[in-house]
Copies of this chain bind each other. A is one copy, B any other.
Amino acid sequence: MNTAELAELGQQLRVDSVRAAAAAGSGHPTSSMSAADLMAVFLTNHFRYDFDRPDHPGNDRFVLSKGHASPLLYAAYKAAGAIDDAELLTFRTRGSRLEGHPTPRRLPWVETATGSLGQGLPVGAGIALAGKNLDRVGYRVWVLCGDSELAEGSVWEAAEQASYEHLDNLTAIVDVNRLGQRGPTRHGHDLHAYARRFEAFGWHTVEVDGHDVDAIERAYGEAESTIGRPTVILARTLKGKGVASVQDREGLHGKPLPDPEEAIAELGGPRSLRVHVQEPPAARMLHAVGGGGVLELPRWDKGDEGKSGKGVATRDAFGQALVALGTARGDVVALDGEVGDSTKAELFAKEHPDRYFECYIAEQQMVATAVGLAARGWVPYATTFAAFLTRAYDFVRMASISGAGINLVGSHAGVAIGQDGPSQMGLEDLAMMRAVHGSTVLYPCDPNQTAQLVTQMAGLDGVRYLRTSRGEGPVIYGADEEFPIGGSKVLRSSDRDRLTIVAAGVTVHEALAAADALAEHDIAVRVVDLYSVKPVDRLTLRRAAEDTGCLMTVEDHHEEGGLGDAVLDAFLDGRPVPRLVRLAVRTMPGSASPTEQLHAAGIDAESIAAAGRLLVEEAVVR
């Protein structure tokens, strides 16, 4: 296409954006119109993509970070022949693939769900990292960002990673239309303010008039020819460009145009230009680096006292199991937030350095990278302290909307870590991860159990979370024991049981000791190890409750949203419910030894036994 034709295409994309939003009665046409020329040139001359084969290994990858500009994306799909006009006009209606913000669950051409700003570039950097270091295919990753979202720190985590990793296959296009949702951005049309920042972070920068298609063409060419570092194109644009009544005006974000017919006329009316998007080059995707061996998980003998004499920490078991999994499967990759010596991800780093990505202290970027790697078919395990995964909660939430298959592992669970104090204790992580749609939440107490769960995680759908512990604990399971997801283990059971104690992780060992203590008072207790917190083993819990009449949950987590709440899920079927008691962390811990912490929180064996005795005796009285 020549200059005039490209400009025409830009107008078509504007018209279709206006039409889609008008049909829906909602949406963001003005945010689409500012970027229409950027999109027109990209689609016509630079995007290499087979819409019939979204899984083509050589396809470029496009991420619409400003996800609210979805009308522009869908208008581009129409121009490329991927959808028809009738579908375009289903925008934002129930059952339509064309959601308010695009998601890969519905549309095969979408790489990652956007709509929470400042996430597209982070995930795009993850995809580019896969392209460069794992897939080793020459595709490019293009991310269209808004200017408002550059205020998100996550953008600068991505900027840092992308330059450090020399991601010259990554191009950020920033639609600097100067207006956010509620008013002007901090820097308005000062392109250089943004350029200075990206330059300082090691990027190549290009400043351009975002409505000059020839200048845009040159900018994209410059991005493609820049070696050794990513490029950002900062494009000066006008929100609502092309329609005088809305152009560059405040107060019009996220609203259909007041008079769509007039606006379409002003834009020169509908057009039916069709873009023949370039085919990607033939390519073969690697979906494994090394690997291909037999899975030989580490094994521990029951009663193994480890080096410390106190047993084995589940974080150690995780690290060793991940190494074994990586040896067996070449698609497994690992990431860590600069605490690999604590999470034990460092074991994987030593054994499989080609598949390990150090993310430094940038948890949002770590999770975003995992999402990007998963989008390219890799199986990422991302690790940090459970407490610090809270930093990335919005990314985990969006990963679930993407349907991304990522494994998150949080170490240093609960008060049991001891002296370091509350800032380092994961005490909200179970609640946070359980509330994520479609998630799996696992919490082992034993190294063999940990190894089995680490392996099974890889094959699940959605976000999977494994919680590990800092301190050592006894080995209570054999190496050949199986631990199905959604299952549990009944560790103590008799037909005289008067109480069920449900525990997981460190509290399993406390519960077993409490059961011994209660036995001395002639109170037989059933003990359930609920290693699968979500999905939960309703059948076993229901049966235990019916058999014993009383049920107590014990967790090293705040009382809300964790193990206790998970257990209650078994009793929401409208049938009668047993007597229930929950032990959990109810006070703010300080520094103390692990033993002191468990006692102070009222979740150690002594506390469990005392509460259990009270519950059983009260049940008798009543």
Q: CB of A174 within 8 A of chain B? A: no
The answer on a CB contact under 8 Å between A561 and B561 is yes
CA distance A468 to B109 in the complex (A): 34
Residue-wise, chain A 87-104 has the 8 Å CB interface mask toward B (1 for contact) of: 000001111101111010
Chain B: CB-nearest residue to A429: B435
Which residues 395-441 in A have Cβ within 8 Å of B in the complex?
397-398, 400-401, 418-424, 427-428, 431-432, 434-438
Interfacial chain B residues near A577, Cβ < 8 Å: 571, 576-580
- Other-chain contact of A115, B340, B421, B575, B580 (Cβ < 8 Å): B421
Q: Looking at the assembled complex, report how far the CB atom of A100 sits from the nearest CB atom of chain B, in whole angstroms.
A: 4
How many monomers of this chain does the complex have? 2
- Other-chain contact of A432, B338, B365, B393, B550 (Cβ < 8 Å): B393
Which residues 562-587 in A have Cβ within 8 Å of B in the complex?
562, 564-566, 568-569, 571-582, 587
Residue-wise, chain A 179-204 has the 8 Å CB interface mask toward B (1 for contact) of: 01110011000000000110111000
- Other-chain contact of A394, B148, B388, B436, B614 (Cβ < 8 Å): B388
- Other-chain contact of A561, B155, B185, B199, B435 (Cβ < 8 Å): B435
Tell which of A226-234, A356-364, A520-528 binds the partner: A356-364
Q: CB of A558 within 8 A of chain B? A: yes
Which residues 422-463 in A have Cβ within 8 Å of B in the complex?
422-424, 427-428, 431-432, 434-438
CA distance A361 to B576 in the complex (A): 48
Tell which of A265-273, A284-292, A489-497, A589-597 binds the partner: A589-597
Which residues 257-310 in A have Cβ within 8 Å of B in the complex?
none
Chain B: CB-nearest residue to A118: B361
The answer on a CB contact under 8 Å between B186 and A164 is yes
The answer on a CB contact under 8 Å between A565 and B575 is no
Which residues 82-132 in A have Cβ within 8 Å of B in the complex?
92-96, 98-101, 103, 105-106, 113-118
Q: Looking at the assembled complex, report how far the CB atom of A319 sits from the nearest CB atom of chain B, in whole angstroms.
A: 13
- Other-chain contact of A340, B182, B251, B436 (Cβ < 8 Å): B182
The answer on a CB contact under 8 Å between A558 and B153 is no
- Other-chain contact of A421, B101, B338, B588 (Cβ < 8 Å): B101
Chain B: CB-nearest residue to A565: B565
Chain B: CB-nearest residue to A155: B153
Q: A200-B201, A432-B435 are known; give 17 further A-B pairs, CB within 8 A.
A: A94-B592, A94-B596, A100-B424, A103-B423, A151-B157, A151-B361, A152-B391, A153-B157, A153-B365, A160-B186, A196-B200, A363-B394, A388-B394, A401-B422, A431-B432, A434-B560, A560-B561
Q: Which 5 A-B pairs have the closest CB atoms?
A: A153-B153, A115-B423, A561-B561, A577-B577, A94-B592
Q: Can you offer 6 A-B residue contacts whose CB atoms are under 8 A?
A: A100-B419, A181-B341, A393-B428, A432-B435, A560-B561, A565-B565
- Please give the residue numbers on chain A whose beta carbons come within 8 Å of chain B beta carbons, in ascending order: 24, 26-27, 67, 92-96, 98-101, 103, 105-106, 113-118, 148-149, 151-157, 160, 164, 180-182, 185-186, 196-197, 199-201, 251, 253, 336, 338-342, 346, 360-365, 387-388, 390-391, 393-394, 397-398, 400-401, 418-424, 427-428, 431-432, 434-438, 534, 550, 558-562, 564-566, 568-569, 571-582, 587-588, 590-593, 596, 600, 614-615, 618-619, 622
